[in-house]
Structure 1
Amino acid sequence: MDDSSRRLQQRRNQPSFSSSSSTGPTRFRSQNFSTNPTKTTQSSNSVPRSNFTTATTPNNTRNPGHIRNRKSETYDGISQQQEEQEAREDVGSIIGTCPFMCPDGERAQRERLRDLAVFERLHGDPRKTSPSLAVKKFCRTISVKHVQASDVRPLAVLEDTLNYLLNLLDSSEHPFEVVHDFIFDRTRSIRQDLSMQHIVNDRAICMYEKMVKFHVISHQRLRNCTSSSISSLQYLNMEQLTKALASLYVLYEANRNNNFVYENEAQFRSFYVLLHLDSKNQQMEESLSYWFRNVPSPVMKSKEMHFARQVLRFYQMGNYKRFLCTVSSEASYLQYCIIEPNVNEVRALAISYINNCCYKLHPYPLEQLSKLLRMKELDVESLCHACGLKITSDDGENKSLPTKQTTFSIPKGSLQSYELVGLQQ
């Protein structure tokens, strides 16, 4: 047998190898913390998609109240050496031990750099603070592999920190945009600490609901601010609102036990639907038709979700009468905070319909228009002027809107907020 024949025979006799690897679904570990001791949290079959930050620390022990970080899949192109390196890094999630709202090292460094917000300054001194004033800042470039446990706040400290921050929300000493900027940054830091520790229990759900509520209220209150940078603040607030909502929905699913629904879940789910009223909102990436498939049946049947779907349908149809009537009679305070900008848009749309469609020889009574738009008569007059329309009055001082005016135009920028008559706060 010549050399080429022997080599061919050797290749045929060699065993063949195939590269394939797969892992089973990642499962949640049971949680130690619960706001209701009688409620048993059932493990989920698989980890829902989440935007939580992956956080592992080589030198920390595992905590049974936290979720272990696991690799979801091993790909064929990864070498064995890379897999072993990742396995060494994947040893568990960090357990925070910092007893203060801000770690000692960060507090001292920020004193040296005079990097203290007005709410953190001791007696107004930009170089001095205290453990009862300083709050840990959000750090975008944090390296979770090298985080020390002493720099991460445990759950109880995070709860106290959040309550402290939200108590500042009604502060009248500073403009709202200043208050918002401080709470905005520090709540992001709280979410970061929760993510690094993989805390997904009922107490974390309560905290996320409070943070979502902060962003929803800010969505309304920022519209009344006059700062030159208010548009960027509104955009950033909306961005964090949608991210916090997405994380909250993941937490709901992670703690789902059969058909159990959290007390506030229906209302917080309705926010996602109401945010679709704004066609300019670039944060809402997932279509509603797909999103509805993942909403639990009890939530879909709730009055909160029914209200949100009705309002969205009336808005898309241009049915301003039923839209305003439904909002004024059924909206909760938080739902109205989201809807309010659209309420004024619908009112302007109604005025344009009346101006274009009514008879020119029959001016539209302002008193009747105020009832239709659920506004005070003075506010209706102000809105008509903002839209470029004139108001007339007869000898009895009854005011009317002359129709067929060609000067109508939607005001540039955001419309002024007017009270919605009949709104149940």
Structure 2
Amino acid sequence: MCPEFELVEREYQNGLDSIEMDEDGHADPYKTVKAYRRSAAGNDQPLPSDVRPPPVLKETLDYLVDNVLSEYPLVKCHAFLRDRTRSIRQDFTLQNIRDITAVQVHERIARFHILCLHEMCELEEEKFSEQQETEQLRKVLLSLTEFYDDLRDEGIETPNEAEFRAYYIITHLRDNDITRQAMALPPHIFLDFHVKRALQFYGLAQRNNEIGESSSRRNKPANIEACQNYYSKFFKLIAAPDTPFLMSCLLEWHFPEVRKGALKAMNKAYLIANPGVEAEYVRQVLAYDTVKQLIEEVELYGLQIDMSLGQPTIRFGQKYHADTKSFFFAEPLSTPRPRRSMMLVEPKKSGISFRDIVNGTTSSMENNPMMQAQLQNSQLERAHSMAAINQAKRAAMEAQIKHAQLKLHQEKQAYTKAIAQAEIQAKLQAELKAKEIAAQKKAAEIQRTIEEHRRQEEIKATLKEEARIAEESRRREEEEMTMRAALAAEEERRRAEKAAAEAAEQERLRQEEQERAIARMHRQALISQLSNRWMNQLMSTVIRQASFELTSKAIQRVKNLQKKLKPWIQRARSRVEKRDEVAIARNKRWHFNMYKAGVKPWEAGNANVKGRASNILLEASVISRKAQETIKAEETALAKASWPYNGPNEAIWETENFAERIYPIIKAPMCEFEPRREDNSAKSEWQLWIHLANRQEQSAQWIQKKFGLDEEFSRRTERYKEFNITTRSITPNDNIYRKAVNELGAVIFSLSEMKRLGIDDCEKKKPTT
């Protein structure tokens, strides 16, 4: 999984991860995985031997998921897995591999990134970077879309394409061009459940109240006109049992943005005249885990929280000024970081291990009916409990409202009576108390003026005392900071001197190690050159000896073949000479009987005529006519006798299996010869050759039919348990291989039908003196 040179280099440079070390702190070759290297000017192109093929890349990912992810906590192994999976994708890119294996590997890597977005979103920025994880996920999904298109051009369909097309849509929820790309998909992908559900979320997540672009808020997504801001259905659809777990994890990344738009819409929909909206109701609609989490985000956006009613209530509709129509809503530079949704997303995991989620074996809830039922029951119980709580709260609120209305009615009646009595008394004592009231008002105004002046003096004294205390505190802090800075500078100087000494010592040790490595490499190069030279000499000697032995054996086989065939050729020629002598004698007797005795062998009824003399001599024209008739009759007979022959002697052309007759004769000698064979890798074979002068002659066609030879190779092989018997025809122009010559057992010579001077075997040799 890791090249040897990289293993040694990383161990020397202390670049090993704790997961890759053994018990002694050294590199474990069975745990070390090739790390990712950026393509920079200082890094050379990797060697072909260091680039892992697809099977090795798949095994590497299996080890990372099945061993590392299963044995270590995700917080500890996340950085290691992200780097090694990135290296796997880099090797696929270097080899330009876009097959099924590449698709399966990239799909598992994409599931790993989606799972990390859910499980690690609440960690600090030093331990988990949401921006880097999202960037890698988008690159993987982009590569998958290209792989799917290339495989479809080759006629190959993948089973999980719709799932990851849906993930690609969710990662681009605010991209206006994503719907056009989705409509360009094939119908069976576009109508799949995952893609349809992703497009539903795309429509529900759009906003029409995003703040306009400015110098401090660039790259904000554009507003969507006529958008419904249907945020409640967005969260209800996520809570649906058929929404997969990984899709919910990916949508969790968009929760802060959707909630921000929902709160902004509520701020404009609920007017200031409304007594407020209960925080619990808003928490249920926007799927917050706790009311505390809701209040933190509400205060971030500058909305008011009212606690006078005994429970948190959000006061929407506050305006900047009384004479303006715009509502107050603070727009932070960035939305809050997403948090793990323990009530909406986490229940969908239902105890499935990380390994199964990444491998895709049991990652989706729709494949587990029991888990769906449990999730539905838990959601129904939660809904019933919340409905009961809301009903109780509504009943308590209605009782409070009735009590307040009754109290208000009583106070109104008492106030009416008091006003009536006051009016009567006022009429009687108005004149008497007018001066007293005026004097009291004047005294009260003077008293308020004195009190206000006294309060202002106290405030000034307090502010002056606070300023003095702050100044003294600032002065003391500056002195302490000066002393700490001097101590820190002294400590930094000592640390720098120590670091310089250590760096010099390390540089000296590195140079010594480098010199030893160069000497060791030089020595290994000399040894390799000498080994290669000696090996080349040894190989050349062995090849020369082997060639000499093979040539000697081939020459010996040719001589043995010539020696073996020579008596057969002489025997055949002697038989041909005897047959020619008998044919010449027969021709002489035939001509003698035709011209002298008047016998006409071509006419019927003259077969039994013997020795009957005739004094009638045929004329030359009659003889010529008879000869022409004989030639025509012979041509007609030959045409009728040509193959396939359907005459009375049709049995002559029937195919026979001569191997059945040869097998009993040669079985014992072949079994005795079997232990002495040189090549025992294949079954032994015995060959019967039929020597033909020309494949176009009538006799060659008869032999082809009689022995059952195939038309393409002109041979027939019968396979037995001990050995095979092959019958084949050859001509003087055929090339004969050494193996066939070694397997030769017998030869049948077929003589030419007509004599050809100089090249025919039937040519009669003149006696030599």
Is TM (by shorter chain) over 0.5?
Answer: yes
Quick one: which of 306, 316, 322 aligns to 2:196?
A: 306
Q: Which residue of 2 aligns with 1:271?
A: 167
SS in 1 for 2:152: coil
Q: d(CA) in 1 for partners of 2:342 and 2:15?
A: 42
Does residue 200 of the first structure (1) align with residue 98 of the second (2)? Answer: yes
Structure with greater helix share of residues? 2
| Structure 1 unaligned regions, length at least 5 | 1-100, 280-285
SS in 2 for 1:224: coil
- The equivalences for 1:18-417 within 5 A come to 101-123=1-23, 125=25, 128-141=26-39, 147-149=47-49, 151-167=50-66, 168-169=68-69, 176=75, 179-228=77-126, 230=128, 233-256=129-152, 261-277=157-173, 287-292=177-182, 294-316=184-206, 317=227, 318-329=229-240, 330-360=242-272, 361-376=274-289, 378=291, 379-393=293-307, 397-405=310-318, 408-410=329-331, 413=334, 414-417=336-339
Contact 2:237 2:243 (C-alpha < 8 Å) held by counterparts: yes
Q: d(CA) in 1 for partners of 2:303 and 2:8?
A: 60
What are the superposed Cα offsets for residues 317-374 of structure 1, whole Å, 9 maximum, x if unpaired? 3321222222222532222222213222222322232233213232112232223223
Deviates more, 1:301-310 or 1:289-298: 289-298
Q: d(CA) in 1 for partners of 2:168 and 2:245?
A: 15
Q: Which residue of 2 aligns with 1:46?
A: none
Q: What amino acid sits opposite 2:281 in the alignment?
A: Q
C-alpha change, 1:261 and 1:327, in structure 2 (3 Å) is farther
C-alpha change, 1:300 and 1:394, in structure 2 (3 Å) is same
The TM-score normalised by the length of structure 2 is 0.37
Give the superposition deviation at 1:408.
4.1
Q: Which residue of 1 aligns with 2:680?
A: none
Contact 2:276 2:314 (C-alpha < 8 Å) held by counterparts: yes
Q: d(CA) in 1 for partners of 2:315 and 2:98?
A: 59
Give the superposition deviation at 1:193.
2.3
SS in 2 for 1:276: coil
Q: What amino acid sits opposite 2:255 in the alignment?
A: V
Contact 2:235 2:287 (C-alpha < 8 Å) held by counterparts: yes
Q: d(CA) in 2 for partners of 1:422 and 1:113?
A: 46
Q: d(CA) in 1 for partners of 2:143 and 2:171?
A: 16
Aligned residue pair count: 310
Q: Which residue of 2 aligns with 1:18?
A: none
Give the superposition deviation at 1:211.
0.9
| Structure 2 unaligned regions, length at least 5 | 207-226, 320-327, 349-769
SS in 1 for 2:253: helix
Q: d(CA) in 2 for partners of 1:234 and 1:170?
A: 23
Contact 1:328 1:420 (C-alpha < 8 Å) held by counterparts: no
Q: d(CA) in 2 for partners of 1:243 and 1:358?
A: 42
What are the superposed Cα offsets for residues 142-180 of structure 1, whole Å, 9 maximum, x if unpaired? 655x7233x23233322221122234346655x73x633
Q: d(CA) in 2 for partners of 1:420 and 1:323?
A: 17
Contact 2:138 2:171 (C-alpha < 8 Å) held by counterparts: no
What are the superposed Cα offsets for residues 117-151 of structure 1, whole Å, 9 maximum, x if unpaired? 222222362xx20111211112234655x7233x2
Q: What amino acid sits opposite 2:16 in the alignment?
A: L
Does residue 419 of the first structure (1) align with residue 341 of the second (2)? Answer: yes
> Comparing both chains, which one has the higher relative contact order based on Cα–Cα distances under 8 Å and sequence gaps of 6 or more?
1
The TM-score normalised by the length of structure 1 is 0.64
RMSD: 3.0
- Identity among equivalent positions (%) equals 25
C-alpha change, 1:258 and 1:152, in structure 2 (3 Å) is closer
Q: d(CA) in 1 for partners of 2:340 and 2:115?
A: 17
C-alpha change, 1:273 and 1:409, in structure 2 (3 Å) is same
Q: What amino acid sits opposite 1:324 in the alignment?
A: F
C-alpha change, 1:370 and 1:240, in structure 2 (3 Å) is closer
- Larger radius of gyration, structure 1 or 2? 2
SS in 2 for 1:391: strand
Give the superposition deviation at 1:302.
0.9
Give the superposition deviation at 1:226.
0.6
Q: d(CA) in 2 for partners of 1:112 and 1:138?
A: 17
SS in 1 for 2:20: coil
